[in-house]
Amino acid sequence: MPLAPAPQSEICMTDSSLFSNTANAKINLNLSVLGKRPDGYHALDSLVTFAAMGDVLSVSSSDELSLTYKGEFALDLTASLVAKSDDLILKAAKALQKESGISAGAALQLVKSVPLGAGLGGGSADAAACLRLLNRFWKLDWSLEALMSLGAHIGSDVPACVMNAPCRMTGRGEHVTKIDTLPILFCVLVNPRMSVSTAEIFRKLNKPHIGMDALDTNGVPLPVFANHDIFYNYLQNTGNDLLSSAIETAPVIGSVLDAINDTGADISAMTGSGSTCFGLFKDEVSARRAKEKLKAVFPDYWVMSTALKTD
């Protein structure tokens, strides 16, 4: 992997209030599963972008690496981990520390605002935010490409989350190509406050095995998304191959999609392996109105409206 040299001078720590980073929620706008690879992973092709909202990771000076949690889903995160060392944030911090040869520590705090097991990037987005944040905090001056390369060893979604911009993910997710143009988009996100097992969803899919010769393909070239019509047409023609398996596992997903359609969304879909679904809109007002309608229908669900990153 490409590595940046470790700094030779003493690290200068500045005001810790300047050091925070948003782990923007990842949204798979579509998701094609091409088959099962010889290494056990599935070969994917997905158009990805990121919400303007997400978890927030902050850092302050410390001799050791540490991580604390707060926020709406902090207790859920703690309960999901066998040990805190399993958290991808700490894995990312330790990997960056090791590969850069730095001895400095960091006191990290995560405000967990995005539900777990929701198809929104979760730990991968948090790990990516950690890499971006500590690269700046420790003054390592690594390139984005170097951080993405390191991130690929932490999780399949981490490179895309490090890029944190519209992109196409292929391979098992580690091959990332930036998309230069997306139309202005807003969305409503709905999670029924339940997580689904990604492994179970893929098992139900039962895709055939594919050979090594199919692993390097980037698929059919993407159209130029010059306007909403071209973009929506592409999404409608590709879809999410995991949707049927997800609905079989969690039928509520189908009900959520129906409710999103009833708000007048241009498109409704599921992100990743679920259980979060989204509706796309051309303007912010429509997305906010949809949010209010959906909160009335699902008062106990997690419902958010947000802009989507287009560059």
Confidence label for 219 from pLDDT (cuts 50, 70 and 90): low
Domain contains 9: no
- pLDDT tens column, 134-146: 999 999 999 999 9
Pair (86, 174) in one structural domain:
yes
Alpha helices by DSSP H, the chain: 74-80, 88-100, 122-137, 144-151, 158-163, 198-205, 228-238, 243-249, 252-262, 284-297
To the nearest 10 degrees (0 to 180), the angle between helices 144-151 and 88-100 is 120
Q: Look-up: residue for tokens 């990290």?
A: 108
Catalytic residue among 157, 241, 266, 291: 157
Residue after which a domain boundary falls, among 161, 178, 195: 178
The pLDDT, as a whole number, for residue 207 is: 67
Pair (150, 73) in one structural domain:
yes
Does the pLDDT value for residue 50 go beyond 70?
yes
Domain contains 164: yes
Q: How far apart are CA 127 and CA 133, in angstroms?
A: 10
Range of the domain at 137: 16-178
Coil/strand/helix, residue 158: helix
1: which strand partners? none
Structure tokens at 125: 């987005």
- pLDDT tens column, 277-299: 999 999 999 999 999 999 999 99
Structure tokens at 82: 């066998």
Domain contains 157: yes
Confidence label for 272 from pLDDT (cuts 50, 70 and 90): very high
Burial environment of residue 164 by CB neighbours within 10 A (0 to 12, 13 to 18, 19 or more): buried
Does the pLDDT value for residue 42 go beyond 60?
yes
- Identity of the residue numbered 109: Q
Q: Which among 89, 133, 103, 135 has a CA at the least distance from the CA of 8?
A: 103
Q: Classify the C-alpha dihedral 194-291-27-309 as positive or negative.
A: negative
Select the more confidently predicted residue: 113 or 210.
113
Phi, psi of 206 (to 5 degrees): 55, 50
Alpha-carbon dihedral angle through residues 164, 23, 149, 49, given to the nearest 10 degrees? -30
Establish whether 291 is a catalytic residue: no
> CATH code at 200?
3.30.70.890
Task: Please count the structural domains in the chain.
Answer: 2
Domain contains 74: yes
Domain contains 3: no
Neighbours of 85 (CB within 10 A): 11
Domain contains 11: no
Catalytic residue among 26, 91, 112, 291: 26
Pair (96, 239) in one structural domain:
no
Pair (162, 284) in one structural domain:
no
Pair (208, 126) in one structural domain:
no
Pair (129, 43) in one structural domain:
yes
- Identity of the residue numbered 243: L
The pLDDT, as a whole number, for residue 205 is: 78
Establish whether 157 is a catalytic residue: yes
Q: How far apart are CA 64 and CA 79, in angstroms?
A: 24
Average pLDDT value for residue range 177-192: 95
Please report, for residues 28, 107, 240, 246, 298, the alpha-carbon distance to residue 253 in angstroms, rounded to integers and kept in the order given.
Answer: 16, 38, 13, 7, 12
Find out whether 161 and 54 touch, Cβ atoms under 8 Å.
Answer: no
Average pLDDT value for residue range 236-261: 96
Q: How far apart are CA 75 and CA 194, in angstroms?
A: 14
Per DSSP bridges, beta strands 65-70 and 106-111 are parallel
Pair (223, 278) in one structural domain:
yes
Select the more confidently predicted residue: 130 or 9.
130
Does the pLDDT value for residue 230 go beyond 60?
yes
Domain contains 247: yes
To the nearest 10 degrees (0 to 180), the angle between helices 284-297 and 252-262 is 130
Pair (154, 191) in one structural domain:
no
Residue after which a domain boundary falls, among 178, 211, 239: 178
